[in-house]
């Protein structure tokens, strides 16, 4: 457990668990802390080195006040900072992402394709312009006015109340700026440029990012990607179905050759 300092002098909290021939890096989304990965890390750290971190604006990481400090490419640069701090830039890693983290992972791959051997998406969507058709800035920031509204925002999407309570600790400006960053990122046609294997784990009941609207398009655009839809699951496969998702990740990583 430690902190990495970014090029704009922000501190990013990170954790490293387990050892193994492959490194898995867990990239959170609009719920930007490590908590949603705890069950998966317990399961997977017996076989792999697992790195998780709190995104800027959330958890134990720095929370800069200005909107200019937040964007998907900025989050991708923070991920690179964490990997450097962990000395994890010698061999490529598998990115395991959630929601907005999928866009962060895609942006990171496009900037550093040599550092990625595979990408697992969960609760994912194409990009900001596409998700605006279902999720507006007003909807994303509806829960920033009070801690209880933050908790309600996440539990309504399927997150358990214990984990959702972490959101009560975050400052309103972080939610607002990350909401704007989420909606602003436009990947265009660049999913076709992601050549590493991909796995999408989507909840059948996900109202924010329905699999047939949000995930299927990515699976069709990426040359080596397939989609798994989990029955009875909403927007948080890592917490709602951690055992099933963990098994899917294990099978996925097993087929990726070591560097």
pLDDT digits (tens, 9 = 90+) for 30-51: 999 999 999 999 999 999 999 9
Residues 190, 73: Cα–Cα separation, whole Å:
14
Q: Which residue has the higher pLDDT, 138 or 117?
A: 117
Residue 163's pLDDT is 95
Distances (CA, A) of 235 to 197, 208, 210, 244: 22, 7, 9, 14
Q: Is the pLDDT of residue 93 over 80?
A: yes
Q: What is the mean pLDDT of residues 4-10?
A: 98
Residue 243's pLDDT is 98
Q: What is the third-level CATH fold of 2-254?
A: Rossmann fold (3.40.50)
Mean of pLDDT over the chain: 95
What is the band of 75 on the pLDDT scale with cuts at 50, 70, 90? very high
Burial of 3 (0-12, 13-18, 19+ CB in 10 A): middle
Residue 144's pLDDT is 75
Residue 139's pLDDT is 86
Q: What is the mean pLDDT of residues 212-234?
A: 95
What is the band of 141 on the pLDDT scale with cuts at 50, 70, 90? confident
Torsion angles phi and psi, residue 35, rounded to 5: -60, -35
Q: What is the mean pLDDT of residues 158-166?
A: 95
Which of 79-83, 132-136, 148-152, 199-203 is least confident? 132-136
What is the band of 107 on the pLDDT scale with cuts at 50, 70, 90? very high
Q: Which residue has the higher pLDDT, 150 or 243?
A: 243
Closest to 75 in 3D by CA, of 62, 89, 87, 93: 62
What is the band of 116 on the pLDDT scale with cuts at 50, 70, 90? very high
What is the largest distance, in Å, between two alpha-carbon atoms of the chain?
47
Residues 78, 101: Cα–Cα separation, whole Å:
12
In whole angstroms, what separates CA 182 from the centre of its chain?
A: 12
Residue 258's pLDDT is 81
What is the band of 145 on the pLDDT scale with cuts at 50, 70, 90? confident
What is the band of 106 on the pLDDT scale with cuts at 50, 70, 90? very high
Q: Are 18 and 47 in contact (CB under 8 A)?
A: yes
Q: Answer whether 0.95 is exceeded by the pTM.
A: yes
């Amino acid at each position: 457990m430690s902190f990495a300092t970014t090029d704009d002098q922000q501190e990013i909290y990170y954790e490293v668990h387990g050892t193994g021939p492959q490194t898995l890096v867990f990239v959170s989304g609009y719920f930007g802390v490590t908590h949603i990965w705890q069950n998966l890390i317990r399961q997977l750290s017996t076989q792999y080195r697992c790195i998780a971190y709190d995104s800027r604006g959330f958890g134990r990481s720095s929370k800069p006040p200005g909107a200019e400090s937040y964007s998907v490419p900025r989050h991708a640069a923070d991920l690179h900072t964490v990997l450097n701090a962990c000395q994890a830039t010698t061999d490529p890693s598998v990115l395991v992402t959630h929601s907005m983290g999928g866009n962060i992972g895609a942006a990171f791959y496009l900037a550093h394709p040599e550092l990625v051997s595979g990408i697992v998406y969960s609760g994912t969507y194409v990009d900001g312009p596409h998700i605006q058709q279902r999720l507006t800035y007003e909807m994303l920031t509806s829960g920033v006015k009070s801690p209880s509204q933050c908790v309600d925002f996440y539990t309504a999407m399927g997150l358990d109340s214990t984990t959702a309570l972490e959101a009560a600790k975050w400052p309103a400006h972080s939610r607002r700026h990350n909401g704007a960053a989420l909606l602003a990122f436009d990947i265009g046609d660049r999913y076709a440029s992601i050549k590493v294997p991909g796995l999408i784990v989507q909840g059948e009941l996900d109202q924010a990012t329905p699999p047939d609207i949000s995930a299927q398009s990515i699976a069709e655009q990426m040359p080596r990607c397939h989609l798994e839809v989990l029955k009875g699951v909403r927007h948080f496969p890592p917490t709602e179905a951690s055992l099933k998702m963990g098994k899917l990740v294990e099978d996925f990583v097993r087929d990726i050759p070591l560097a």
